[in-house]
Amino acid sequence: MKDGQRKKNNKYILPQQVWLQTINLIRDYYRMKEVADDLIATAPVKDGTGIRSGVSDPTFAKVVKRERHVKMTDIIDEEKNKIPVEYRHGVWNSIMYRTPYPLDADRSTYSRWKSRFVYNVAVRANIY
């Protein structure tokens, strides 16, 4: 399945590069979740010298990085939950695994929900 967006009857149209960047952000969902969880488990790095310039704070840097990942995964989760339950699985699998839409509804219905989902993620993630 191609990564393009609907061209006809689509009020959620995005520039091609924004569309692809948002699709890749959504596909990165599971990695971002894993990184956010791993950042909690890791201990702060100590260099052993006891000398610090005062500029770098490794714990704060981890918190900022984790917060960025958590924010993006929360946006994706919230927008995914706005898709009706009967279409959610088909739209998610279409984006994540490039699988065809299920045959329980028309392709245009799934495409419409996919376009809306990707558009809303792009807007909320400040990509568009």
Q: Are 5 and 95 in contact (CB under 8 A)?
A: no
Is the pLDDT score of 75 beyond 70? yes
Share of the chain above pLDDT 90, in %: 67
Per-residue pLDDT reduced to its tens digit, 41-50: 876 656 555 5
pLDDT tier at 89 (50, 70, 90 boundaries)? very high
**Cα–Cα distances in Å, from 66 out to 32, 72, 110, 128?**
9, 10, 32, 23
Domain boundaries, the chain: 27-44+58-124
